[in-house]
Chains A and B, each alone.
Chain A
């Protein structure tokens, strides 16, 4: 009955765990399938989901669809400054959605200037955004999504409890009702999908005076001069939309920008931001935040290479130094679930060390923290548990994008990873700068419009990774992600006819290898 039976021999299990690049291999690992018919008697529920974010909801809804009795717990602890939100988790409330909307707002400010260049008689002098109106619009949209989510849950008959569920044992969860009564429920399977929240640094004034991405999208006052601490994608995205909206962000970088991403692309992206007037403080860490009598914030910081101490005054300090998994309140020990750092360790079937307890989404240790990953793995898990599916989540070659003004998107390996895995003599990198047609009239800088394909050097030259900096990067890369999963080679890429005039077609025009040493700047446009 349990999934463990399905795992079969240790060899099979090994196959599961191996980092297969091609998802189809997974299917073939199984000879038989196993339908877990919902049990009506022993437990209150067939499935209990902790967390009402992307991963949890997707899993809960899919399970109900296959006839399981499901309950979903969702609870948001307010941030130190008191921000809280509704159902749907990080993405909808304090992540992708508000971030993309703020990014769009910032691009539209740029578009107004471009419109002038194209002949529109719009006054683009001293245009300013109305922060409050923007926040209201963004929050209005979020509330509507929350509402749609609630309706969706009701329609699909997912029982939803707005409370913090805590483990009593490996089948039992305890929670407090609105009336402050303590209740217990039991379930055959439990899925932990509680996600993560931003970290605060351990320095004086951090929690009292600083905010995080949990607060910025609903901030009641204009952010003004902002110190963004951290140069991961969250930090860079926030700094960029703040810049685009006319504020004055400074990015404090402890070591490198965009850790985990391709180094060349990351440095190019940082250079693009510097070009647009974002200040960077490199190899610097904050040491204290002090509130001034006028309400502004004095930030003391230390340059770790020169050891110089300095301080500066900001209106807002935004911590973007990373996110931690929300395991603390769950009493995982009561169920005997193993953790690592602040995350939960799972195997290829998202099972924890307790075979009937699973984890999906950002709470998993060592997997990409992305909404679509969480959704797909949650859904696939539900299908495996309740719909006789054998399909495992394929975490390889997950595309992602960074919504900076010139966006950066990539799929597959970074150049470094490719070199590390295959050796630089076995890698060919095709690269090129390009000039988007629309950039000419408004004379937008094309200096950082760059793309590259990392491939094997032999045979048909299998593509290992694609990287693109430019407009609408996510839209450009998505299709190539499907291509990579289909076994894209350089030969196929170069035989793919472009769509003219787009920027995505530049991938089909890549002809210069890094090895050749030739100039990767473009000459002609249409021949």
Chain B
């Protein structure tokens, strides 16, 4: 049986091998490069190679630097010109770290023009064509796609339990301890609000309600288990070999895997590192013993009660938001700023909207220690980072949301010669590390958005480049995202600060406005923070650089606009887009007040 399987795989391999060899000289060139590549090969050499490749491919038009290569015949709307080159400075900055780091994704045209290196599917001396390390969004997407393209793939997946002992199944952060449970808890909290709204709309419901934490957790966990199961079935259906073990490198082609049944050594032509990240703990007494993280919260077997959320990134704010909605008492401790990396005006509004709902924010405080009291409660001491004032308070739960670290430690990357940067791995625009047969995708990559759909798409495109006919690279620009706070925030493109930094305050125009969702009136929900803005080019066709929206179902609202941005949305087009009435998304089509004008951005009439 296994022989037949092996045979069929082999024949596919053979066919592929032949087609690969005979399709084009370019591919052969590529393979030469791969075969001649050694450990010593560095980025500069590869860049050179890429340049040569460009010359070869573009004929008379050779010699252009790849960073500004532009195909004049490409008249695809929205990408006929690189929009902005905001990463130019970043690539310089990272160079200080020792490895020349490129951000070629700043030029979208180049992305489609570059010839990609394609791996030959070959049994060769190796057990597998591809070993994917990590069974999360990126790893699974990559593994499944690679198998679909005919490669022999094994996917390694292993979850180290948290200090509290929480562990989970296949699927990675998103499914088990990320987006999915978070969205469900958020939904639960919104539904609590909906019950009160229902009463305002005339339903005869008793508004004295409480959530059953244990029932909620078990519902959420059941859903996760079912997703785990579907994922396993999917892997089996798609014939992706799955090993529940922790892999570490012996050399660039060999890996040892710790499994329940003992250690095993396997070899592969190519590796994709997709191990993702896990929450950090602060280095203070009691942090690990008494604190929990988002890894534990969604399966916590007791009510969280009064909770200190340390950290005001999106994870901290989301957790605080749904805990409040579920009737607990969260406090958010902010070291410096809220939602670093996001538009700061919007971040401020998000924080204000949460404070309005009764979530206290401790600004400029850092935790010093966590002690367990005889009552079982946790005494947290914390210090004002400017004044040095020390305060303390007791909590039922302390949740660390101070950031996430890449899981590079157990991989023995030094054995493979893969460089790391901080606790992440730097890759080029092909997701290749400094070692040519080793790639990385997902949250483990340095300096790219840590988001499931990014990981999924990058993993899939990588597999297609490696084993399919594709040359398409991942476009990391203008990735939309959303924060599931009670009033949600979603955005796509540049923040106002980044746009100012990039183009200068005189060259951008910001259209903004407050608005009042129709449904908010009857239950008298606060509309104080319902706000949106469009950051655009000031002159010319007023290309839209960024869109920001604070309000209900923000992610649903922004997604389409993300596609619009990618299609080259301008302010003119936006204002000529007819609204869908009554929605909140239509407010984008009604934006007409610029910040520069100084006019009041509060709305007057509703339907005329």
Contacts and interface: CB of A to CB of B under 8 A. Distances in A.
Contacts of B202: 105, 129-134, 137
B198 A487 contact: no
B572 interface: yes
Given A122-B206, A508-B559, A481 B608 contact: no
7 contacts: A115-B194, A129-B204, A132-B202, A480-B564, A496-B562, A499-B481, A525-B231
A492 B478 CA distance: 12
Number of chain A interface residues as a range:
35 or more
B381 interface: no
Contact of A399 (B139, B203, B552, B580): B580
Most buried by B among A58, A131, A437, A477: A437
Interface string A53-74: 1111110010000000000000
B151 interface: no
Interface stretch (A2-10, A145-153, A213-221, A231-239): A145-153
A475 B201 contact: no
Contact of B607 (A97, A438, A505, A524): A97
A502 B556 contact: yes
B349 interface: no
B547 to A, nearest CB: 8
Interface of A: 23-24, 53-58, 61, 88-89, 91-92, 96-97, 100-101, 104-105, 108-109, 111-112, 114-115, 117-124, 127-134, 137-138, 141, 144-145, 148-149, 152, 370-373, 375-376, 378, 391, 394, 398-401, 409, 437-438, 440-441, 460, 471-472, 474-483, 485-489, 491-493, 495-505, 507-508, 523-527
B574 to A, nearest CB: 6
Nearest to B562: A496
B560 interface: yes
A58 B205 CA distance: 40
A526 B174 contact: yes
A394 B114 CA distance: 39
Contacts of A507: 559-560, 563
A54 B608 contact: yes
Interface in B111-163: 136-141, 144
Nearest to A403: B582
Interface stretch (B93-101, B402-410, B448-456): B448-456
A120 B191 contact: yes
A485 B219 contact: no
Given A88-B607, A371-B607, A495-B566, A438 B184 contact: yes
B555 interface: yes
Nearest to B139: A527
A496 B556 CA distance: 14
A54 B76 CA distance: 38
A356 B573 CA distance: 29
A53 B454 contact: no
Given A475-B556, A496-B563, A138 B475 contact: no
A114 B216 CA distance: 12
Contacts of B481: 499
A516 to B, nearest CB: 14
A145 B583 CA distance: 16
Nearest to A55: B608
Given A57-B608, A96-B582, A119-B213, 16 more contacts: A24-B572, A54-B608, A88-B607, A97-B607, A101-B518, A127-B205, A132-B202, A371-B607, A375-B608, A376-B576, A378-B608, A482-B560, A483-B569, A507-B559, A526-B175, A527-B172
A97 B209 CA distance: 30
A97 to B, nearest CB: 6
A119 B192 CA distance: 10
